[in-house]
Each structure stands twice: as C-alpha cells, then as structure tokens.
Amino acid sequence: MEGKMSIYYDEEGDYLEIFIEGKSPTYGEDLGDDVTLFKKEETDEVVGVGVLNFRKRTKNLDEIKLNLPFKVNFSSLKI
C-alpha cells in the first residue's frame, strides 16, 4: 500500500478516518469497539481505518495514543 495519507476528523460526530490512496471504491469491516477497517473492493487491500468516539478515547490530542483491535506492521514499508 502506498500513496498519500488523508486524515479526516468530524468533531461533531467524534469520528476519525485515516485513508491511504483515497476512499473509493471501498467497503468497511466492523472490527468492534467502534472501529471500522476499510478495504479496496477489487483487491481486499486495507486502505483505511475509521474510529468512532475518537476523542473519548484520547486524553490529550497533543499526544494521541489509541488502542486498536488489530496489529499494524510497518516493518515491510519501503521508502
């Protein structure tokens, strides 16, 4: 997965969305605990994550720590 990262936060809805490569066409898989994983329809490649009740999960937006119900592995990234 490579591309530009887009981050969207809806303060009123308290919803954070992070995408790589844009949003379409994708589908979402509910992982529970208000977290949705977004995948490309054609390839099932993970391209985004959505977190409902984001602000409630963080104590300070200057130092964001968020427990996600899945693991992220950056070791395979190539620059």
E-assigned strands of the chain?
Answer: 5-10, 15-20, 26-32, 35-40, 46-52
Q: Compute the chain's Rg from CA coordinates.
A: 13
37 in Cβ contact with 28 (< 8 Å): yes
Supply the pLDDT for residue 28: 92
- pLDDT per residue rounded down to tens, the chain (79 residues): 456 778 888 989 999 998 887 556 889 999 888 999 988 888 888 888 899 998 887 766 666 666 666 666 655 555 4
Supply the pLDDT for residue 7: 85
Alpha helices by DSSP H, listed for 1-79, are 54-57
- The tokens for 20 are 């790589």
pTM over 0.85: no
